[in-house]
Amino acid sequence: MNAIVATNASPLRHGPVAIAWGALGGLGAAMVVPYVLKLMPPAQPLPMPIWAVAISAAIQNALLIGLLGWLALRVAYPLGLDTPVMRRLLRCGDARPVSASDWRLAVLLGIGAGVAIVFADRAFAPFMPKLDLPGGAPGAAAGLLASFYGGISEELFLRLIVMSFVAASLARLRRSALTPTIAWSAIAVAALLFGVGHLPAAAKIAPLDAVFITRTLLLNGVVGVICGWLYWRRGLELAIAAHFSADIVLHVLVPLLHAE
């Protein structure tokens, strides 16, 4: 477990960190709108203009992530779960340094997870129901924008918020520090919820039979476990880097290769 100790020279403050992440999380939510719209039937009318949908999503997510993120940081920091790069950048308390090798590890793990998912998805393909994409595949450009939502917004919700609260709750129940058992339990819960969270989108493109549900939970769970481990051992930013790298493989490189 990473030991974190605040000093007088670097006062511990969670508010600015939560506000910064809330703003970035809101931006990610706005950027995923074109990708989501591609999954909708072309004839389905929008309740408001696209720009208004994006702004609304940004504001709602920014407020939710900012508030819940602030609460999560308060319970996560004493356990050693933190966002070290942002904390050091804003000078809001001491945090472990993040090295170039840490970034390389996160990116390689993310790319590896993305490639593994591509091959695993092919193994599931013969047993999958026929996918229905009335608007066509989202494409690399929309996929690139969606990658920022996956890498930033989803990591803020699943790792910073969900995983932190689960870990803090288990630690409090056991009256202990963040043990490996508690950490892995929190990682598993967040990874499972990450997979479950993709089921509504999956249901828009195919019937949710047993194979499709298993595939969705398993493949998303791979990324969830990797990102959870990185959040625990290296910090939130490394989880974001891994998730973003995996999404670039899945939502940008794969569509570009198929386009050829």
User: For the whole prediction, is pTM greater than 0.85?
Assistant: yes
210, part of any domain: yes
230, part of any domain: yes
Q: For 201-233, give one letter per residue: b (16+ CB within 10 A) or e.
A: ebeeebeeeeebeebbbebbbbbbbbbbbbbbb
What are the tens digits of pLDDT across the range 91-146?
999 888 999 999 999 999 999 999 999 999 999 888 877 776 666 678 899 999 99
5, part of any domain: no
d(CA 1, CA 245): 25
- Number of domains observed in the structure of the chain: 1
What are the tens digits of pLDDT across the range 161-185?
999 999 999 999 999 999 999 999 9
158, part of any domain: yes
Which pair of tokens denotes residue 112?
């590896």
Averaged pLDDT, 44-66:
90
pLDDT at 75 over 50: yes
10, part of any domain: no
Look at the chain and count its residues. Answer: 260
d(CA 204, CA 41): 9
Return all residues near 190 (Cβ < 8 A) that are at least 6 apart. 158, 159, 162, 163, 166, 224, 228
d(CA 203, CA 232): 32
The H or E element that residue 237 is part of is helix 236-248
1, part of any domain: no
Averaged pLDDT, 52-69:
96
Q: What is the pLDDT of residue 6?
A: 40
7, part of any domain: no
d(CA 154, CA 251): 15
Which pair of tokens denotes residue 187?
């990682």
Sign of the torsion angle spanned by Cα atoms 128, 225, 192, 69:
negative
Which pair of tokens denotes residue 21?
């992440």
Sign of the torsion angle spanned by Cα atoms 70, 74, 77, 79:
negative
Domain that includes residue 252, residue range: 15-259
d(CA 141, CA 178): 40
Q: Shortest CA distance to 133 belongs to which of 35, 57, 219, 46? A: 35
Mean of pLDDT over the chain: 90
Contact 14, 70 (CB under 8 A): yes
204, part of any domain: yes
Averaged pLDDT, 5-27:
81
